[in-house]
Amino acid sequence: MKILVTGGAGFMGSWLVDELLKRGHDVTSVDDLSGGFMRNVSPKCKFIKMDVRNKKGVDKIVKGVDIIFHLAAYAAEGQSVFSPIEINDINITPMNNLLVAAVNNNVKRFVFTSSMAVYGDQKTPFDESMIPKPEDPYGISKYYCEMMLKTFAETFDFEFVVIRPHNVYGPRQNIADPFRNVLGIWINRIMNNKPPIIYGDGHQTRAFSFIEDVTPAIANAGFYDKCVNQVINVGSEEVTSINDACKIVLESMGSDFEPIYEPARPREVKHAFCTIEKSQKLLDYKTKNNLKKGVKKMVEWAKEIGPQKPSYRIPLEITKKAPKVWVQKLM
Ligand SMILES: NC(=O)c1ccc[n+]([C@@H]2O[C@H](COP(=O)([O-])OP(=O)(O)OC[C@H]3O[C@@H](n4cnc5c(N)ncnc54)[C@H](O)[C@@H]3O)[C@@H](O)[C@H]2O)c1
């Protein structure tokens, strides 16, 4: 199978590329390196450095492709409220380009990594039968992409799978990004000799999902018949409060820091975790690493790459109501 992975130099994309190569596929990885790294790119794949907002470029790279896994995005959910112009452009334009190219090049299957963010502030656990009610631009952009994919797949007769991952973490995550991935932000702050920051009271709950568990399920979405045209949550069933997750990170790093508490961020959903039965049935998903075990592996990797200088990729377009640590770049 000839496979195209967008966002292939990123965290989840690079793990997926490796998994697909391991399974013997011919993999092309495309990434503009805005959030990914060459250190993540396997020498065994064909790598193209390109912005997938480039329509002509996308037309070219989709030629002859059987399966697209579309992961390229900027998943800064909290920041998306304050930088909606740029983040919507990054998250929406590539989907339109890829869909048109997929139709014109007879792509057989299109797998899209959406997000749990589409559920918004509904009753947990979120299950796939709920009508999405996204709370922020990131969630709205993901829901837009899901609906475009479903509409085009139905109209032009190709297969699709929508994956809704949640709070994925592990080695290769971009820990230099001050706007996303709480565990990585904490690990990097502690390595930079700064205490971790918690927004709100820390009683928020999430189900953190380890990359080694999530990747095989996403890869399976490209090939299994039983998941065709389905929307499927992917991630762990282990629900943890932000306070407890922070304790696990501090313990794993052998740190004596106490977290600093900052005001809650606008529109942050308090409780967000998903049902996992559908992914177990349709994608053979299994949680093999609990949070303690996964964090230990992530911390070992983070210590190898060492403390990272925070990198502010996209400026805040709105500063009103934005956390002061973001406005003043205190990370
Ligand atoms: N990590 C999570 O917890 C999580 C949860 C739910 C959904 N997702 C989704 O999974 C996907 C992968 O997330 P990730 O955590 O690996 O993020 P990531 O930032 O590590 O990877 C995304 C990659 O896309 C690339 N990219 C961004 N815009 C691009 C563009 N216009 N053209 C080419 N490349 C571009 C970046 O350089 C980066 O390497 C995203 O679609 C994200 O929304 C992630």
Mean pLDDT value across residues 19-31: 98
Q: Which atom, in ligand 1's list, is nearest to the CA of 14?
A: 16
> Could you tell me which of 292, 176, 284, 275 has the C-alpha nearest to residue 233?
275
* Angle, helix 182-191 to helix 242-252, in steps of 10 degrees: 40
Structural domains in the chain?
2-168+208-234 (3.40.50.720), 170-206+237-272+286-327 (3.90.25.10)
Q: Does any ligand 1 atom lie closer than 6 A to the CB of residue 138? A: no
**Mean pLDDT, residues 28-35 taken together:** 98
Q: Which atom of ligand 1 is nearest to the CA of 36?
A: 39
C-beta neighbour count of 288 within 10 angstroms: 11
Spatial separation of the C-alpha atoms in residues 186 and 166, rounded to whole Å: 18
**DSSP letter assigned to residue 39:** G
Q: For ligand 1, what atom is nearest to the CA of residue 166?
A: 5
Q: What is the pLDDT of residue 28?
A: 98
pLDDT of residue 172: 98
b/e code 242-280 from CB counts within 10 Å (16+ = b): beebbebbbebbebebebeeeeebebbbebbbbbbebbe
Burial class (CB in 10 A: 0-12, 13-18, 19+), 224: middle
Measured between its terminal Cα atoms, the distance across the chain in Å is: 43
Q: Catalytic: 138?
A: yes
Per-residue pLDDT, 87: 96
Average pLDDT estimate for 98-113:
98
Mutating to test ligand 1, I would choose from 51, 89, 113 the residue with most ligand atoms within 8 A of its C-beta, which is 113
pLDDT of residue 266: 86
Q: Is the pLDDT reported for residue 267 higher than 90?
A: no
* Distance between Cα 257 and ligand 1 center (Å): 30
pLDDT computed for residue 325 by the predictor: 83
Q: Is the CB of 13 within 6 Å of ligand 1? A: yes
Q: What is the pLDDT of residues 66-81, one digit of tens each?
A: 999 999 999 999 999 9
pLDDT digits (tens, 9 = 90+) for 154-199: 999 999 999 999 999 999 999 999 999 999 999 999 999 999 999 9
Give me the percent of the chain exceeding a pLDDT of 70.
100
pLDDT of amino acid 331: 72
What distance in Å separates the CA atoms of residue 245 and residue 291, rounded to the nearest whole number?
A: 8
Q: Strands 46-49, 197-199: parallel, antiparallel or unpaired by DSSP? A: unpaired
Rounded to the nearest integer, the mean pLDDT of the chain is 97
| Model pLDDT, residue 185 | 96
Reported confidence tier of residue 329, pLDDT bands at 50, 70, 90: confident
- Least Cα distance to 149 among 113, 116, 118 occurs for 113
Q: What pLDDT score was predicted for residue 148?
A: 98
Amino acid at 244: D
Tell me how far apart the 2 most distant CA atoms of the chain are, in Å: 57
What pLDDT sits at residue 326?
A: 87
Distance CA 321, CA 323 (A): 7
In which order are the strands placed within the sheet that holds 109-113? 46-49, 26-31, 2-6, 67-70, 109-113, 159-165, 230-234
Residue 141 pLDDT grade (very low, low, confident, very high; cuts 50, 70, 90): very high
Average pLDDT of the segment spanning 241-247? 98
DSSP sequence for 133-187: ---SHHHHHHHHHHHHHHHHHHHHT-EEEEEEE-SEE-TT--TT-TTS-HHHHHH
Ligand 1 pocket residue status of 139, Cβ below 6 Å: no
Burial track 28-49 (b if 16+ CB lie within 10 A, e otherwise):
bbbbbeebbbeebbbeebebbe
Active-site residue, from 74, 138, 143, 144: 138
User: What pLDDT, on a 0 to 100 scale, did the predictor assign at position 324?
Assistant: 87
